[in-house]
Chains A and B, each alone.
Chain A
Amino acid sequence: KAGVTQTPRYLIKTRGQQVTLSCSPISGHRSVSWYQQTPGQGLQFLFEYFSETQRNKGNFPGRFSGRQFSNSRSEMNVSTLELGDSALYLCASSLSLGTGAYNEQFFGPGTRLTVL
């Protein structure tokens, strides 16, 4: 079974631009979560989608948005990029919402975004 895939793996943008990152979950997984990882802040939760609906949201400004498609693939968008948005963006998929005995999160390799 293929793992979580994220595209692109690396991205360089300039301030003020916008960016779209893509995540394909493991087949059969319906929940997709996004995280931002930086050396200073560690891993911070962005949002979680399930059945095309945002179910949970972290403390990020409205410039960060996302969506989920009917095939469970998800995209996140960051508009008006700032230097501080440089980070590794991780996507994780799980079978469902919540934490059950078998509802583990499986992470993709991440997209490394650099804002110049």
Chain B
Amino acid sequence: AQSVAQPEDQVNVAEGNPLTVKCTYSVSGNPYLFWYVQYPNRGLQFLLKYITGDNLVKGSYGFEAEFNKSQTSFHLKKPSALVSDSALYFCAVRGMNRDDKIIFGKGTRLHILP
């Protein structure tokens, strides 16, 4: 069965410092992996995805994520955090079959401290 774990409910980072939001997954076969961000009273916004190819994926707003197959991880990173990055971040996984469902993690709340 597919699953996604975001081990941290909340991450606090000082503005200007690098940030990492962790995600590990479990899926049979090769995974499709996603990161979404949710701002207050808004729906989810797509940040980036890993389908195949380079393990380092670059996305919106300066975010990137590294796919690590041996550690089954897909951590979200940004070299220099902005206060405006404060939001709820979701990692998601989907299998390769056409009818596979997308499974979301519980979310990690990111606080960027000015």
Q: How many residues of B contact A (CB 8 A)?
A: 24
> In the complex, A104→B107 CA distance in Å?
19
> Quick check: A106 and B46 within 8 Å, CB to CB?
yes
Binary per-residue interface labels of chain B (96-114) against chain A in the complex, 1 for a CB within 8 Å, 0 otherwise: 1111111111110000000
Q: What's the A-B contact tally at a CB cutoff of 8 Å?
A: 55
Kindly state the separation between the CA atoms of A67 and B97 in the bound complex, as whole angstroms. Answer: 23
Interface string of B36-73 (1 = CB under 8 A from A): 10000111111001010000000000000000000000
Residues of B within 8 A of A33 (CB): 102
**Counting CB contacts under 8 A, is A107 at the interface?**
yes
Count of A interface residues, CB-CB < 8 Å: 26
What are the residues of chain B within 8 A of A66 when measuring CB–CB? Answer: none
B98 is contacted by which of A42, A43, A98, A105 (Cβ under 8 Å)?
A98
Interface contact A109-B103, CB-CB below 8 Å:
no
Encoded as 1 (CB less than 8 Å from any B CB) or 0, chain A from 36 to 54 comes to 0000011111001000000
Q: Which residues of A come within 8 Å of B, CB atoms?
A: 4, 33, 35, 41-45, 48, 55-56, 58, 90, 92, 97-101, 104-110
